[in-house]
A and B are shown apart, each in its own frame.
Chain A
Amino acid sequence: MTDALLPSAFSELEPYAATWCLPTEGERYAKRLSSSMDEMQTFYDAFFPRGEEAIAHCEKFPLADMPEDAERLLQLLYSLVMVSFPVEAWRQPNVPDSGAAYLDLLIEPRP
C-alpha cells in the first residue's frame, strides 16, 4: 500500500479518499451537489462510526505541520460535515428551496 492516501488505521476508507479528500469548501460543496444521495449515504455510513477516532488521530499533530495522510483524513472529516446536511436533514443534495442561490467562500483557513 505505498500509494495509500490515509493513515493505515483508516485503510478501509481508502475507496472514499480519492473522491472526498478535497482541500477547499468550494470543491466539497460542488462534490456534494454533483453526488447522488446513495453515494453520500454510503460514504457517511462507512465513515461516521469512525469519526471520533479520526478526530483523535488528527488532533495529535500541530495544525500547521500535519503529515499529509493526517491532513487528508481531516479533509475527509470536513467532507463528512459537508454531507451531513443532505444525509441527516434534507434527504436531498441541495438546501431545500435554495434554487439558484449561492454563497461562495472566498477566504477560509487552511488546512
Chain B
Amino acid sequence: MKPIEKPAEGSWTAHYPDLGTEPVSYEDSISPEWHELEREAIFKRSWLNVGRVEQLPRKGSYFTKELAVANTSVVIARDLDGEVRAFYNICRHRGNKLVWTDFPKEESNGNARAFTCKYHGWKYDLDGACTFVQQESEFFDFDKADYSLVPVHCDVWSGFIFVNLADEPSQTLTDFLGPMITAMEGYPFDQQTERFFYRATVHSNWKLFMDAFQEFYHAPVLHAKQSPVASLPEVQAAGFEALHYEIDGPHRMVTTTVGQGWRMPPEMLKPTESLTRSGLFGPWDAPDLGADPLPGINPGQVRNWGLDSFQIWPNFVILIWERGWYLTYHYWPTSHNTHVFEGNLYFVPPKDARERLAQEMAAVTFKEYALQDGNTLEATQIMLESRVVTTFPLNDQEILCRHLHKVAADWVADYTRERAEVSG
C-alpha cells in the first residue's frame, strides 16, 4: 500500500509551525483555577451549538438548554414569524427559572404561545415581550415594556442553532466558523433526521474526551477486541495513520479511511454485522443523499475517504461518515474534572424494518466503543491529577490534541490580557 503523503514540511505538525513539537502540559485539564478562566474566556465568549432546527418543528416550539459552565440556562424558541430566538431562562419579576418541568435542573421542551412563570404568573410572548403581570397596578412606576426577557445572541448555520453569551460577540457566527466549516453549507443534514441522543457524566476534564475522539492512534489498541479484523497481528503492528489533517483558526479536522464491511470476508466480521449489514462505520447500504460531491467534505481530496471529523471550537464535533450518516458530540464542562458528554447519531429515516435494524446495530456498536473510551478518561484524569508527570509527548497523529490545548491557552491569554487592560 502506498504510504500516506504528509505535507512538504515532513509532518502534519510542522505544517502548522505555531503548534511546536515539544511535550505538552496537561495542567489545563487538572487545575480548578484554570477551569474558572476557561469558563469566562471561552464558554462565555464563543458561539456554542445548542441543538438543531428539527428540535423546533413548529411556531411556538421551544427547548431549554442548561449551561452549567456559564451558571445559566437558556430557552430557545421558534417565534410566530418562524425565527429562532434565544433568551436567558429567568423571569424578570423575582428571578425564578421561567421554563422547566418537574425538576428545575433538568432540560425541558414543548410547544407554547407564551411562557408563564410558575411563581406569580407573569407571561412572556415568543419574542420575549412581557405580556401579562398579575395585579399590575400594585407595582410602582411600572411599565411592563421594561421587563422583556433578556435576549441571548442566537444564529443558525446549516440547521445548527448556536448561542453566544457575550454582551456583544466579537465575530458573527459565519466569521467565527470560518471557511473550513462553512464550506459544508448545503450538506444534507436536513435529510438525516432519525435521531439517537445519548448523554453521560464523564469524570474527566472536557478537553480529555475531545482528545480521545480527535486522534485514532488509540484505536488499534483500546478497541482491539471489538472485531476479528482489529485483532489481526498485522493490523496491530501497522497502527494507525490518518489520511489528512487540517486546521482553520480555532477549528480542526481529520480524515480517515474506515473498514468496508461489505468488502470483507465473513470470518473477518462479527456474525451480527453480516446479518444486519451494519457496524461501527454505519449501515453498509448507504442512502442516496442527492448531492455529489457533498459540499465541504473530504477537503484533502484523498482517495479511500471514510470519514471527516470536524472539531468545532470550543466543544462541538460533527463527524460525517462515508455511508451517509453523521454524529455530533458535545462536551459540557461541569467542573475542572467532570463534564457532561452528549452524542447524537443522525440517519436518513429508515424506509423499513431492515434499514431500521441496520441503524440499531450502528447505534449499539457506537455505545460499546464510547463506554470503553469514557472509562479510560477517568483513569487518565486520576493520574494527571497526581502531577507525578507534568508534560507529555504528542506524536504527529495527535496534532489535533496539541492544537486544542494551544487554542484554549490562547483564548485564556487573550481574555487575561483584555481584563488587565480594562483594569489597567
User: What is A's interface to B at a CB cutoff of 8 Å?
Assistant: 25, 48, 51-52, 55, 58-59, 61-63, 66, 70, 74, 77-78, 80-82, 84-85, 88-90, 95-109, 111
Contact = CB atoms under 8 A, between A and B. Distances in A.
Given A74-B353, A85-B364, A95-B368, A108 B196 contact: yes
Interface of B: 194-200, 202, 225-227, 270-272, 275-276, 341, 343, 350-354, 356-357, 359-361, 363-365, 367-368, 370-372, 374-376, 378
Identify the interface centre among B196, B226, B272, B360: most chain A CB within 10 Å of its CB.
B272
A63 B349 CA distance: 10
A82 B357 contact: no
Given A88-B272, A107-B195, A108-B196, A98 B372 contact: yes
B197 A107 contact: yes
B354 A88 contact: no
- Chain B interface mostly helix, strand, loop or mixed? helix
B367 A103 contact: yes
29 contacts: A48-B272, A51-B275, A55-B276, A58-B354, A63-B350, A63-B352, A63-B356, A74-B357, A77-B357, A78-B357, A81-B272, A81-B361, A82-B364, A88-B270, A88-B271, A96-B225, A98-B375, A101-B200, A101-B375, A102-B200, A103-B199, A103-B374, A105-B196, A105-B198, A106-B197, A108-B197, A108-B363, A109-B350, A109-B359
A62 B356 CA distance: 11
A50 to B, nearest CB: 10
Contacts of B360: 77-78, 81
B357 A55 contact: yes
Q: Which of B352, B354, B360 gathers most chain A CB within 10 Å?
A: B360
B56 to A, nearest CB: 15
Contacts of B226: 89
B376 A103 contact: no
Nearest to B376: A97
A96 B352 CA distance: 33
Nearest to B276: A81
A17 to B, nearest CB: 17
Nearest to B347: A109
A84 B271 contact: yes
Contacts of A96: 225, 372
Nearest to A66: B353
Nearest to B196: A108
B372 A109 contact: no
A109 B271 contact: no
